[in-house]
Amino acid sequence: MIHKFNITEVADILGVNSFTLRRWDESGVFKANRDSSTSHRYYFEDDITNFLLNNFKYFLDIAVKWSFSNKAIYVPSKFYCADSSIFKARLDMLANILKKDSSIGESFSLITSVVAEIGKNSFDHNIGQWPDIKGIFFGYCLNERKIILADRGQGILTTLKRVRPNLKNDKDALVVAFTEVITGRDPEHRGNGLKYVRKVICDTQMHLWFHSGNGAIDFSDDIDDFSAIDIERYMAGCFVMLDYKLI
């Protein structure tokens, strides 16, 4: 069954008021559908998805709300991957889109490989131990050349403390995750994925923001200029934004 969202529901999803949606409808910024019998405005999920994909401010806002809120909010189904098979299928779709972008050239494979490693990291680290909602947020705004991945999982520090119990904070855990190969984590030896991500980011001059717990890393194009920072706003899992404008 196709669900219709009324104007109040969509206003809540986008964090605006109903008057703004009515104005957007009248100006053509975000057109609503009309019920033929009542003239009430309504929206389909694809309407919301398409608006978000073309309006990065609201796309980013809904990604942040889903990632950081105490209880996960609604996001369009095209931005949510409940398991790794859905994530892989949608990543393949992104790869096909990027492959057709002549301005990116062969770098499309580097972009998708970075996204693959980050998404895989979320699923691998939380197998059978998702504290909240299983799965990840995965969406992209092609007009802004930005990709967002996030999970409501355990976070980098909790994961690494199983093999590095001496780790004291999120900053230290992030530095270890991106600089050291960690072995001995079931179900397989892992540790190369985020190191690969770091190398690609520095080699290509893409920009990556990686936030977990109270720590974050803002990647530059200098592989030696590498440090984590304290972030006041806490999140249990991971929030990542990849900007590939510079490719």
Cis peptide before 187 (omega within 30 of 0): yes
Average pLDDT rounded to a whole number, residues 181-209: 76
Q: Could you give phi then psi for residue 103, rounded to 5 degrees?
A: -70, -20
Q: What pLDDT score was predicted for residue 223?
A: 57
Distance (Å, whole) CA 73 – CA 15: 12
The predicted-structure confidence for 122-145, as pLDDT tens digits, reads as follows 999 999 899 999 999 999 999 999
Give the domains, in start order, of the chain with CATH numbers: 4-53 (1.10.1660.10), 58-243 (3.30.565)
The predicted-structure confidence for 198-219, as pLDDT tens digits, reads as follows 999 988 889 999 999 999 999 8
pTM over 0.85: yes
Dihedral angle of Cα 40, 41, 46, 52, to the nearest 10 degrees: -160
